[in-house]
Structure 1
């Protein structure tokens, strides 16, 4: 009975939690993805700001959309360049493990793993690689999922494990963004 009483309350609560994405825009680096919004009271960051950040991506994209974890790296670059940080001062790595590896497959790999259509993350992954973002996959996930050499988008690196990749990047001064 209590559950029946909660249902109408939940229905009224839903619109209150809706997100207004109208202020979010892409660019200046990636114009097709990585939307960000200005934040009131935050102006330009000092041009001397430097970032070395590694993104942990372990979830596969859903419903034919781009991988949100990978897109977060593009958002990070776009919003910081838009706020005055030189692109050359932003060093990004993505460590992908688990089923997130599927979003890093080239067309042959995509088809080999029974994925239909085209990989919706492929263009974004290529653009990130072209801008110097390192994308590193977990070799243990690669083995477990049966991903073969040559099935990955060119430029994607393989580490022994995600744990090794994180440890090595941290030794190089990267902070981990979960």
Structure 2
């Protein structure tokens, strides 16, 4: 009986102290990009720095009704830094989309015409764009995979190629993140 009481008491103390937390989305992207709170990390984040990042998005899930988690990484990036006190104005994020992920930035009508369902990424991509994320489609993928500009989520830019966009962004001090 005494042992059970101690186990229950330990459980209550751990969960009431905040140690057992859940991942949280927001404050920039409210519906996507949940992250863990990391209290007092050993490697300190420079909260005065500008974080310029380009995500190379080329993979996509095989399921046409599943969101692209590599795109969601941009939401996680924004939310995690904002949750830890870095102003949104210091977060510069660009997605360069190509290869299999090309379909993930099409508007719902174009997506549904091809795959029979609405684009599960549409709201997430729109939320990212509304938060200032630049979305660039590889022009070569656009042509080779038959995703013309009119099929893309409004606001998407087309580049000569993903390679060209990635080089130019890195020349402008964006840091490449590729999964």
Are the counterparts in 1 of residues 109 and 118 from structure 2 also a CA contact under 8 Å? no
Aligned to 1:73: 74
Kindly tell me the number of residue pairs found equivalent between the two proteins. Answer: 157
Give distance in 2, aligned partners of 1:61 and 1:129: 21
Aligned to 1:151: 151
TM-score by length of 2: 0.82
Q: Deviations over 1:3-41 (max 9, x none)?
A: xxxxxxxxxxxxxxxxxx963111111111001001243
Give distance in 2, aligned partners of 1:155 and 1:68: 21
Alignment of 1:101-116 (within 5 A): 101-112=102-113, 114-116=114-116
Aligned to 2:96: 95
Give distance in 1, aligned partners of 2:127 and 2:57: 17
TM-score by length of 1: 0.82
User: Which range moved further: 130-139 or 40-49?
Assistant: 40-49
Structure 2: unaligned runs, 5 residues or longer: 1-19
Give distance in 2, aligned partners of 1:88 and 1:125: 19
Structure 1: unaligned runs, 5 residues or longer: 1-20
- Which SS does the other structure have where 2:92 is aligned? strand
**Whose radius of gyration is greater, 1 or 2?**
2
Give distance in 2, aligned partners of 1:79 and 1:176: 18
Give distance in 2, aligned partners of 1:148 and 1:141: 10
Q: Offset at 1:42?
A: 2.4
- Which SS does the other structure have where 2:158 is aligned? strand
Give distance in 2, aligned partners of 1:39 and 1:62: 32
Q: How well do the aligned residues superpose, as a CA RMSD in angstroms?
A: 1.8
Give distance in 1, aligned partners of 2:119 and 2:61: 10
